[in-house]
Homo-oligomer: A and B are copies of this chain.
Amino acid sequence: MRRFVAEKARNLVAQAVSYPPSSVFPRRTSSPLRFLSGTSTTPLPSPSSDSMAGSDYSSTPLTLQSINPKVLKCEYAVRGEIVNLAQKIQEELQAKPGSHPFDEIIYCNIGNPQSLGQQPITFFREVLALCDHPSILDKSETQGLFSADSIERAFQILDQIPGRATGAYSHSQGIKGLRDTIASGIEARDGFPANPNDIFLTDGASPAVHMMMQLLISSENDGILCPIPQYPLYSASIALHGGTLVPYYLDEATGWGLEISELKNQLETAKSKGIKVRSLVVINPGNPTGQVLAEANQKEIVDFCKKEGLVLLADEVYQENVYVPDKQFHSFKKVARSMGYGEKDISLVSFQSVSKGFYGECGKRGGYMEVTGFSPEIREQIYKVASVNLCSNISGQILASLVMSPPKVGDESYESFSAEKDAILSSLARRAKTLEDALNSLEGITCNKAEGAMYLFPRIRLPEKAIKAAEAAKTAPDAFYARCLLNATGVVVVPGSGFRQVPGTWHFRCTILPQEDKIPAIVSRLTEFHQRFMDQYRD
């Protein structure tokens, strides 16, 4: 049954998580796979120092009861308990090699390509380095180290920065010249005009999402329609701002289809509970679900928002990550404009990030939102909130302009750039397919295609015995599975409960990002683990 789930209603992951008792998986050191290690009975690692644990803080002012309850309520599963355990195991592996049945932790919990060995795009890094240290631009040695077009681009960018000061705070929306470049990139992508004054450059997409939530949410009576499953940034941000997440369920049976009837039902249910729904979040390509929306479907969504007076928050950070020939990314702005809707018809925010795409520059914290269809007075409020943090980091700003205006045919870097880009994207497509096939071959697992984005989100039909064991271990069944998987293989995935899911179903999210040469080993470890897990728990 799909039902309305208010922010505070369910919090499966929030329950105290303890590890499965070691008797669940007998220790078999002779086997290449071991389900539980010595770690299993130790407490969860705390981010604070060990030396502090157990100290008496009774004279210091803060207790869990006295801090902001919205902070307590907030959950962020992609860096939650399982990841803490993984970090602890990693430390143990470093301190005592051989202490676990695997050599390394493989972080498939988060879309962090370069942490798994993806190399940065050379042209982008050349330009960034030159902008960081412009005094080498005129030196002869620089010609030998950098491509001609990266040098030229660095000069162009410096000319766009007042006083060439890459170390100065910029305009709160970001450097005007870089916003011009980004607007041109959007125009080239969509075939419709883009206004540089609509661009707000941000430290990755996350602060942009927070900024919009801050604007839209006054109290728990303000609702935000979010897909379920969803990327937990949304549930976390809504919780931190004290609003209500109004879920709409994607239909797993039709490849995570987004049905307007479902949107309408959930909107009505929310209204009947006194919730004023402000906004609709759509993640396209989907995270964690990987589907790419069809243009016709997007048109229905735009009409729904227009009709219901909702701000459309379009998470489009995976716009370059489409892996199937029959699907294509269309920005919601392009779709709205192609329907003849202009500034006055629909309020639309598009989020983009340098962390995703083929570049995967997560550590640079670059991104932007394109804000259209807001009145000047509302725009001023958004600008004010942006200005409180002064500006986003300039390297991230520069990189955001570069991903929207990469080398073109005829540029010295064009061929090597294209080769790097194509190699990454085609490899990602192969990895997605291999992992999808492997998952679908496992007992009780079905997995939709990753048409786009960076994740697979398989459904696991867990035997009753496994669900009982999870209950006994006071954890959600999919968290129990993920923990066992980690302890046995070193592979870190995020339990579906962190993204929310149809109650009674269980999933996990696994990135497609490990380097291609590691995929066969991951597949065989996963397969072996799953068979053993099912042998243990089959009803």
| Most chain B Cβ neighbours within 10 Å, of A66, A165, A394 | A165
When the two chains form the complex, which single residue of B71, B217, B218, B379 contacts A381, counting CB atoms closer than 8 Å? B71
Chain A, range 49-79, C-beta contacts under 8 Å to B:
49, 51-53, 55-57, 59-64, 66-72, 74-76, 79
The CA of A316 and the CA of B139, in the complex, are separated in Å by: 39
Decide if A62 touches B378 in the complex (CB within 8 Å). yes
Q: Kindly provide the distance from the CB of A512 to the nearest chain B CB, expressed in whole angstroms.
A: 16
Q: Min CB distance, A125 to chain B, in Å?
A: 4
CB of A80, distance to nearest CB on chain B (Å): 8
Asked if A223 is an interface residue, CB under 8 A from chain B, the answer is: no
Chain B hits for A343, CB < 8 A = 52, 55, 57
Query: Across the interface, do B214 and A347 meet the contact criterion of CB distance under 8 Å?
Result: no
Flag if A378 contacts B344 (CB, 8 Å): no
A365 to B218, CA, bound (A): 29
Contacts of A172 in B (CB 8 A): 47, 79
A181 in the interface (beta carbon within 8 A): no
Contact code string A141-183 (vs B, CB < 8 Å = 1, else 0): 1101100000000000000001101111111110000000000
Task: Given A79-B390, A393-B364, check contact A162 B115 (CB 8 Å).
Answer: yes
A127–B159 Cα gap in the complex (Å)?
23
A283–B145 CA distance with the chains assembled, in angstroms: 45
Contact present for B168 and A64 (CB under 8 Å): no
- The bracket for how many chain A residues form the interface is 35 or more
A126–B129 alpha-carbon span in the complex (Å): 9
For the complex, is A216 an interface residue (Cβ under 8 Å from B)? yes
In the bound complex, how far is the Cα of B62 from the Cα of A172, in angstroms? Answer: 22
Known: A145-B139, A393-B363. A60 touches B345 (CB 8 A): yes
Give complex CA distance A364, B116 in Å. 26
- Write out the residue numbers on chain B whose beta carbons fall within 8 Å of the beta carbon of A120: 166-167
Stretch of A233-241, A327-335, A521-529 contacting B (4+ beta carbons < 8 Å): A233-241
Instruction: Tell me the minimal C-beta distance from A205 to chain B in angstroms.
Output: 10
Interface stretch, picked from A368-376, A443-451, A461-469, A472-480, is A368-376
Q: Could you tell me the distance in whole angstroms from the C-beta of A405 to the nearest C-beta in chain B? A: 19
B388–A240 contact, CB under 8 A?
yes
Name the segment of A26-34, A130-138, A254-262 touching the other chain.
A130-138
Q: Does A470 contact B (CB under 8 A)?
A: no
Residues of B within 8 A of A216 (CB): 62, 67-68
Interface string of A381-413 (1 = CB under 8 A from B): 101110111111111100000000000000000
Chain A to chain B contacts (Cβ below 8 Å), 20 pairs? A47-B172, A47-B173, A60-B347, A61-B310, A61-B311, A62-B215, A64-B377, A67-B218, A67-B381, A71-B381, A72-B381, A112-B168, A117-B165, A128-B132, A141-B145, A145-B145, A169-B363, A203-B365, A236-B388, A363-B394
Starting from the known contacts A60-B346, A141-B145, 7 additional A-B residue pairs (CB-CB under 8 Å) come to A46-B380, A63-B378, A71-B381, A114-B163, A114-B167, A167-B361, A393-B396
Please give the residue numbers on chain A whose beta carbons come within 8 Å of chain B beta carbons, in ascending order.
46-49, 51-53, 55-57, 59-64, 66-72, 74-76, 79, 87, 110, 112-117, 120, 122, 125-126, 128-130, 132-133, 135-136, 139, 141-142, 144-145, 162-163, 165-173, 195, 197-198, 203-204, 206-207, 210, 214-218, 233, 236-237, 240-241, 278, 306, 309-311, 343-347, 355, 360-365, 373-381, 383-385, 387-396
Closest 7 CB pairs of A and B: A115-B168, A129-B133, A57-B375, A363-B394, A365-B393, A141-B141, A47-B383
